[in-house]
Amino acid sequence: MKQRLHNLLDKFGHLLKKRSLQFTLSLTFTLVAIAGMIVVTLTLSARFTKTNEKMISEDNQRVLSGINLNLDNYLHNIMRVSDSMYYRVIKSANLDTASDMDTVNKDMALFYNTYSDLLVSVSLFSDDGTVLSSEPLQQLKSSVNVKDQDWFQSAKEKIENVHFSVPHVQNLFVDSNNPYRWVVSLSRSVELTRSGSIYHGVLLVDMNFSGIEQICKNADLGESGYIYLISNDGEIIYHPRQQLIYSNLIHENNLAAATYSDGNHTEIFENEERMISVKTVGYTGWKIVGVVPIKDITANYTELQTYIWFFAFFTIFLLASANLFLSSRIANPIKELEQSVRELEKGNLSAPISIGGSYEVRHLGSALRSMAEQMRKLMDDIVAEQESKRKSEMDALQAQINPHFLYNTLDSIVWMIENEHYDGAIEMVTALAKLFRISLSKGKTVISVKDELEHVRNYLTIQKTRYKNKFIYTMEAEPEVLSCATIKLIVQPLVENAIYHGMEFMDGDGEIHIRAYRKEKDLFIDVVDNGPGMPPEQAQSLFLDSAQKPKTGKGSGVGLRNVNERIQLYFGKEYGLTILSQPDEGTLARIHLPVKTIAEVTGEGGDPV
């Protein structure tokens, strides 16, 4: 993904390189405006969606709270009937007497008639399942064993609690008027008094399920939203499509809803995203579940989104028009200035320079005009300076090999041959050939440190033979610096000075040490001798011009000055040559170069010669 984005940005940048400044400014500003408006539009849409979902969630919770309140009232009324029957009638009656039983029957009939719109039947059972009293249904079905009923067992197991069943068809009593009436049963354990002894029985109140159904049916959760009621284990108590669910024609995610806590949740059921609101009903542990498809929520703000996008596109159009106008005001003066620069590129330094536009562009035009005038003034100076520099470089290169050195070397070779010192002669001829080979270097000025040190080694081989082993030398180089770049013939002049000036009064005790090493990003080449040395002020004067240099009678210092100037010419003023010396302590000549390869210096490849 990152690579694809990088390639896309490269193509876009390449496209802009071929276009005008006005096109680039207009396109860039317009793209920024479009991106900004899209971000704002998406942010507003997302915020509106979130706000809308929050409002719908709160509305759903209010609807569920209303249903919960109605169910609480409904169930509370049923519990009140149960409490009244138990505490006012059953608990104080002695069931052994016919009069008390008549009273129980009458009171039960009275309670039933009072709450007949809520109730289907009210019944009292002994602990062995015998019907003691019942209204209005009294005849048990022959196939029914009361003790096997769930409501009866729940009441017997948990004596102190009231128990509510899930909806079911009333299957205890014979009901000729409505044999398939749906009810929800409330059962509780009660204390029965017989002959002064207390026994346990069960009071059963069958409430009309249609009351619960009506409460849930009246809820409004939008066009496709609906409410359903489940028990705490997920069994459906009410559902608007209950018959279809029981027929397995449709399905509901009721088992998962049973695990949800009160509040709002989002789920995906049968490839449909839905908002689920849950509220737990007191006393029973039932859960009211509200379902609203997310598509219904998003449909509510489609019109607003259309308006927002229309406003965004209209704003982008206005911004693009403003960008075109502003970019032309910026780009036109720059175009005129660019035409003037083209004339300068053709070599017409007298071409008029356009000055206009903003302050920065006018300042640039003035600077170009001033630059053109300076260029005209400096052209002659540059030509003269280049000729002078070329002459200096040639003089410095030619001065590296002293003709007297060549004559003396050849005389030494002839003397060795005449005296049949053929090995020494061969060694000197070989060293001289290598010396010239590296000196020429196929016209190259930049060579490797390895080749420069090899050149010095050949030079020292010749000089040591000529001077009859008047001095010894050592040469050290760190392996990582051998491939670094240097200028040819900058170490040999330092060695030559060490021999001619340092070894002049030595008799077999002369020492010259050459060391090449690296410190971080700097390359150093030291040439150290144990000669008589010189005062520090004399060492500093070696880099002065002849007119400024004090008369010492010991060389002109042209070779050292040329080495220093050539280093700074190639690598900059921060590099060069340093001479450190004290009388009777010898001299240290230190070359300071950057750590670079030959390709980095010359911009070319190739192996050093």
**Residue 58 domain-assigned?**
no
Amino acid, single-letter form, for residue 440: L
Residues 165, 230, single domain; the answer is: no
Residues of the chain above pLDDT 90, percent: 15
Residue 177's Cβ-count burial label (10 Å; 0-12, 13-18, 19+) is exposed
- Mean of pLDDT values over 262-278: 91
The top-scoring range by mean pLDDT among 198-207, 337-346, 598-607 is 198-207
3-state SS string for 240-267 = CCHHHHHCCCCCCCHHHHCCCCCEEEEE
- Band (pLDDT 50/70/90 cuts) for residue 482 is very high
> Confidence band (pLDDT; 50, 70, 90) for 609?
very low
Residues 386 and 430 in one domain: no
In this predicted structure, the answer to whether residue 407 has a pLDDT above a threshold of 70 is no
Of 94-103, 173-182, 228-237, 337-346, give the lowest mean pLDDT range: 337-346
* Confidence (pLDDT) at 221: 82
What one-character DSSP code corresponds to residue 143? T
Pairing of strands 272-280, 587-594: unpaired
Residue with tokens 């070696």: 542
Q: Which DSSP letter does residue 325 get?
A: H
The three state secondary structure string of 352-375 is CCCCCCCHHHHHHHHHHHHHHHHH
pLDDT at residue 180 is higher than 60: yes
pLDDT on residue 577: 93
> Greater confidence, 404 or 297?
297
Last residue of a domain, one of 168, 185, 212: 212
pLDDT tens string 355-375: 776 667 777 777 777 777 777
pLDDT at position 608 = 38
With bands split at pLDDT 50, 70 and 90, how would you rate the model's confidence at 519?
very high
pLDDT reported for residue 257 = 92
Other residues' Cβ atoms within 10 Å of the Cβ of residue 473: 20
Amino acid in position 126: S
Whether residue 434 sits in one domain with residue 386? no
Residues 529 and 490 in one domain: yes
What the block records as the tokens of 493 is: 């002049």
Task: Give the best-scoring range by mean pLDDT among 71-80, 253-262, 488-497, 554-563.
Answer: 253-262
Summarize the confidence of residues 428-457 as an average pLDDT: 78
Q: Looking at the domain assignment, is residue 55 inside a domain? A: no
Q: Please indicate, yes or no, whether residues 195 and 255 belong to a single structural domain of this protein.
A: no
The model's pTM is 0.45
Domain CATH code at residue 135 = 3.30.450.20
Across 261-275, average pLDDT = 91
584 inside domain: yes
475 and 555, same domain (yes or no): yes
State yes or no: pLDDT of 295 exceeds 50. Answer: yes
Query: Average pLDDT, stretch 466-472?
Result: 79
**How many percent of the chain have pLDDT more than 70?**
82
Q: Is 275 within the bounds of a domain?
A: yes
CB distance 276 to 293 below 8 Å: no
When pLDDT is cut at 50, 70 and 90, the band that residue 104 belongs to is confident
Structural domain range at position 128 = 91-212
Average pLDDT of the residues in 306-314 = 76
From 516, 499, 503, select the one nearest 591 (Cα to Cα). 516
Predicted pLDDT of residue 606: 43
Q: Of 157, 181, 212, which residue sits at a domain end?
A: 212
Mean pLDDT of 66-87: 86
pLDDT score at 450: 92
Q: Do 448 and 408 lie in a common domain?
A: yes
Check whether residue 124 and residue 199 sit in a common domain. Answer: yes
pLDDT value of residue 7? 66
- 50 pLDDT exceeds 80? no
Q: What is the pLDDT of residue 441?
A: 60
- Supply the mean pLDDT for the chain: 80
Q: Is residue 78 part of a domain?
A: no
Number of domains in the chain: 4
Exposed (0-12), middle (13-18) or buried (19+): which is 407, by Cβ within 10 Å? exposed
Q: With 60 as the cut, is the pLDDT of residue 401 above it?
A: no
Structural domain contains residue 59: no
Per-residue model confidence as pLDDT tens digits over 191-210: 888 877 888 899 999 988 88
State how far the Cα of 526 lies from the Cα of 543, in Å rounded to an integer.
18
DSSP symbol at 94: B
Asked if pLDDT for residue 467 goes beyond 60, the answer is yes
Compute the average pLDDT of residues 3-22: 60
Residue 408 resides in a domain: yes
Give the tokens for residue 414: 């002839």
Residue 415 within any structural domain of the chain = yes
Residue 438 is part of a domain; what is its CATH number? 3.30.565.10
Whole-number pLDDT of residue 518: 95
CB atoms near residue 447 (< 10 Å): 21
When mean pLDDT is compared over 5-19, 231-245, 401-415, the highest value belongs to 231-245
Q: What is the DSSP letter of 293?
A: E
Q: What is the pLDDT of residue 607?
A: 42
Same domain? 477 vs 499:
yes
> Same structural domain for residues 105 and 186?
yes
Q: 105 with 254, same domain?
A: no
* pLDDT for the residue numbered 442: 58
Q: Distance between CA 470 and CA 482 in Å, rounded?
A: 29
State yes or no: pLDDT of 2 exceeds 60: yes
Final residue in a domain of this structure, among 187, 212, 237: 212
Q: How far apart are CA 326 and CA 274, in angstroms?
A: 50
pLDDT of the residue at 5 = 58
Q: How far apart are CA 184 and CA 187, in angstroms?
A: 10
Are 390 and 403 contained in the same domain? Answer: no
Residue 604 predicted with pLDDT over 50: yes
pLDDT winner (highest mean) among 103-117, 186-200, 401-415, 521-535: 521-535
pLDDT at 290 > cutoff 80: yes
Which of 12, 172, 188 has the alpha carbon at shortest distance from 90?
188
The values of phi and psi at residue 236, to 5°, are -70, 125
